[in-house]
Structure 1
Amino acid sequence: MPQQVRGVIARGKGEPVRVETIVVPDPGPGEAVVKVQACGVCHTDLHYRDGGINDDFPFLLGHEAAGVVESVGDGVTEVAPGDFVILNWRAVCGQCRSCRRGRPQYCFATHNAKQPMTLLDGTPLSPALGIGAFADKTLVAAGQCTKVDPAASPAAAGLLGCGVMAGLGAAVNTGGVGRGDSVAVIGCGGVGNAAVMGARLAGAAKIIAVDIDDRKLATALRLGATHTVNSATADAVEEIRALTGGNGADVVIEAVGRPETYKQAFYARDLAGTVVLVGVPTPEMTLELPLLDVFGRGGALKSSWYGDCLPSRDFPLLIDLYLQGRLDLDAFVSETIALDQVEEAFARMHGGDVLRSVVML
């Protein structure tokens, strides 16, 4: 029987979000209803509210979540009621050309629940990243649920569902950071600092954090950076080269998503080094580089989408490392808040005052 629960709704571009009653249908074939325990407040949710993703209002916001499976539809074998899960926005199909080639992390046909959640008047909701987890319960495709050890804190575990996985994966999966490498991370918000943590986890010898905010640089040091550069007062490229024997870093991760910082990343890498773009640009941005420089420097220019992760592989592993004390996910939880405090959390996030506010349900 459909359930009525609370959810955070963005009704129009730039309008303050508000808590409203929403209707969650029973799960159909291949679907699951999840009772949400915690959901992080991510920049992507703010982009949805501000119309930066698309204009399919009203949106049910929230996507960086962990919770417990309440019920499943026909044909679901991945999870069962009672499982503690992290939600992901890339349920792989298993059938596309990438999946058939053994590269499901690059699946071309990821999917979400087929049934809509709605407002009380029947208006369909657009769930953020196909999840919509600023709600007591949400309906997702069963493949969007990854079972992990229930001993993990929901507030910390849910952050793997987006930002932390994006940054950590940019270093470990996309950048291929290895033991003894030098790494520079440009932009030290939640995603950038997760990249710092990923580089440390991978055994990088030198990790250079770059930002214009000393608060974020201090956090980067706590999470594993060995050096910091405030690019508001120093030339980031020159400083990174000076810290790497004049050569540049083996891997430079750009976690801002702007042409200016991408150029810094390009010129701050070593010859045949790797640049990873994980910061999300806006549609109007363009990049211009001398083609001879692209040709002459060799190496690799990569983009990292969701940290090139495969949730079924990566989430359980990272939760195990967290429970072993080797991955400090708790460090990303700046504060816990109630469902009706999301709008205020957007303001704190925009001001750089938090790594993550986490809604607890």
Structure 2
Amino acid sequence: MPQEVRGVIARSQDAPVEVTTIVVPDPGPGEAVVAIKACGVCHTDLHYQQGGIGQDYPYLLGHEAAGVVESVGPDVTDLAPGDFVILNWRAVCGECRACKRGRPQYCFATHNATQKMTLTDGTELSAALGIGAFADKTLVAAGQCTTVDPAAPADVAGLLGCGVMAGIGAALNTGGVTRNDSVAVIGCGGVGDAAIAGAALVGAHTIVAIDTDQRKLDWAKEFGATHTVLAGGGRSDEDVIAEVQALTDGFGVDVAIDAVGRPETWKQAFFLRDLAGTVVLVGVPTPSMQLEIPLQEIFSRGGALKSSWYGDCLPTRDFPVLIDLFLQGRLPLEKFVTERIGIDDINEAFEKMHGGDVLRSVVVLDPQ
């Protein structure tokens, strides 16, 4: 039977989010109901609340989550009640041209649950990134559930569902960072620090963190940054580029990662890399942003200019490996959790995130 549970919704653009009762239907074909244990507060949720992604209100917020499968639809065979899972928004279809070419990490037809969760009056909810995990339970496509080792705490594991995976994947999957590479990361929030952690994990020898906030540069050192560069405050782009080049024998870095997603930070990344180096854009720009750069510069510097979608991850491949590395003490995922909060504290968490005071606030719904 359908269940009534608590959920956090945004009723309209810029309205404060609220905790209310939502209705979760029984899973149909290809679907699963997951009891949420913890869910990170991500900038994407704030973008939904502010109207920066769409206007399909009301939204059921939350997507960076881990929990336990409660029930599955009649045709689901690779997931079972009791499985500990991380939710993801890349449920690959297996049929599109990317999947058929053996590149499911670029699946062009990812899917969500067919049924809708609702308010008690029947109003349909739009689940953030097809997940909606600021709730005691949520309905998702079975392919959005990735089973991992239950020894991992849910408040840590769930972070792989979005920002941390985006950053690690930007470095390893998209940027191809490997041993003895030099790397620069612009923007040292959760995604940027995850890129730094990924670069450190594989043995990059020089990892330069760049930010306008000294607090964030201090955080970056905890994830493996070997050098920091304070931008802003009257320093020009040329000053920052020159400092990075001075740290790399005058050449620039092998891989430059823009975790901010603005034209000025992308151009900075473009010019502080070495010849034939790689630029990775993982910060999400707004639709109005435009970039101007001489085509001659693109030709003469060579290399690769890449965008990273969800860290170009394949959840079934990447999540279990990263959780194992965490459990081995080789990947400090726990350092991303700044605070643990209750479901009623999300508005305050948005304010802290907007002010740059946290890496991640995590809503704990079912303490382990």
TM-score class, shorter-chain normalisation, is over 0.9
Q: Could you tell me how far 1:81 is from its partner in structure 2?
A: 0.2
| 1:317 aligned partner | 321
Counterpart-to-counterpart distance in 2, 1:136 and 1:239: 48
Query: 1:76-95 alignment to 2 at 5 Å?
Result: 76-95=76-95
- 1:123-138 → structure 2 map (5 Å cutoff): 123-138=123-138
Using the alignment, how far apart are the partners of 1:246 and 1:96 within structure 2? 45
Residues 133-167 of structure 1: CA deviation (Å, up to 9, x unaligned) = 00000000000000000000000000000000000
CA RMSD of aligned residues (A): 0.5
TM-score (structure 1 length as normaliser): 0.99
Sequence identity, in percent? 74
Greater CA deviation, 226-235 or 44-53? Answer: 226-235
* 2:71 match: 71
Counterpart code for 2:110: T
C-alpha distance after superposition, 1:169-194 (max 9, x if no partner): 00000000010000000000000000
Q: Which residue of 1 aligns with 2:240?
A: 236
1:283-294 to structure 2, matched below 5 A, reads 283-294=287-298
Equivalent positions of 1:182-221 (< 5 A) are 182-221=182-221
Give the distance between the partners of 1:42 and 1:306, measured in 2 at CA.
13
Bigger shift: 235-244 or 102-111? 235-244
Counterpart of 2:51 in structure 1: which amino acid? G
Which of 241-250 and 34-43 deviates more? Answer: 241-250
Asked whether the equivalents of residues 24 and 117 of structure 1 are also in contact (C-alpha less than 8 Å), the reply is yes
Checking the alignment, whether the CA contact within 8 Å between 1:38 and 1:66 is kept in structure 2 is: yes
Residue matched to 2:250: 246
The residue aligned with 1:107 is 107
Q: Which residue is equivalent to 1:279?
A: 283
Q: Is the 8 A contact 1:40 1:62 kept in 2?
A: yes
Instruction: Return the letter of the residue paired with 2:263.
Output: P
Contact 1:166 1:307 in 2 (8 A): yes
Is 2:356 aligned against 1:336? no
User: Displacement, 1:78?
Assistant: 2.2
Per-residue deviation, 1:239: 1.1
Match of 2:151 in 1: 151
Contact between 1:87 and 1:158, CA under 8 Å: does it hold in 2? yes
Counterpart-to-counterpart distance in 1, 2:101 and 2:210: 37
Match of 2:269 in 1: 265
C-alpha contact 1:5 1:21 (8 A) present in aligned 2: yes
Distance 1:339 1:238 in 2: 46
Provide the C-alpha distance between the structure 1 equivalents of 2:205 and 2:285, rounded to a whole number of angstroms: 29
Match of 1:304 in 2: 308
Q: Distance in 2 between matches of 1:11 and 1:236?
A: 43
Give the alignment's TM-score, normalised by structure 2.
0.98
Structure 2 CA distance, aligned partners of 1:168 and 1:210? 17
Q: How far does residue 277 in structure 1 lie from its aligned partner after superposition?
A: 0.1
Q: What's the CA shift string for 1:6-47, capped at 9, x where partnerless?
A: 000000110100000000000000000000000000000000
Runs of 4+ in 1 over 6 A off after TM superposition: none
2:164 partner SS: helix
Contact 1:78 1:143 in 2 (8 A): no
Separation in 1, partners of 2:104, 2:77: 18
1:343-358 matches, cutoff 5 A: 343-358=347-362
CA displacement 1:103-160 (0-9 Å, x = unmatched): 0000011000000000010000000000000000000000000000000000000000
Distance 1:77 1:288 in 2: 50
Query: d(CA) in 2 for partners of 1:232 and 1:65?
Result: 34
Q: Counterpart amino acid of 2:199?
A: A
SS at match of 1:74: coil
5+ residue gaps in structure 2? none
Q: CA deviation at 1:238?
A: 1.3
Q: Which moved more, 1:69-78 or 1:141-150?
A: 69-78
Equivalent residue number for residue 359 of structure 1: 363
Q: How many residues align?
A: 361
**Letter in structure 2 aligned against 1:334:** T
Aligned-pair CA distance for 1:77: 1.6
Show structure 1 runs of 5+ residues with no match: none
Q: CA contact under 8 A between 1:104 and 1:310: conserved in structure 2?
A: yes
* Whole-angstrom distance in 2 between the partners of 1:66 and 1:47: 21
Matched with 2:6 is: 6
Q: Deviation of residue 306 (structure 1)?
A: 0.2
Instruction: Work out the CA distance in 1 between the residues paired with 2:252 and 2:332.
Output: 28
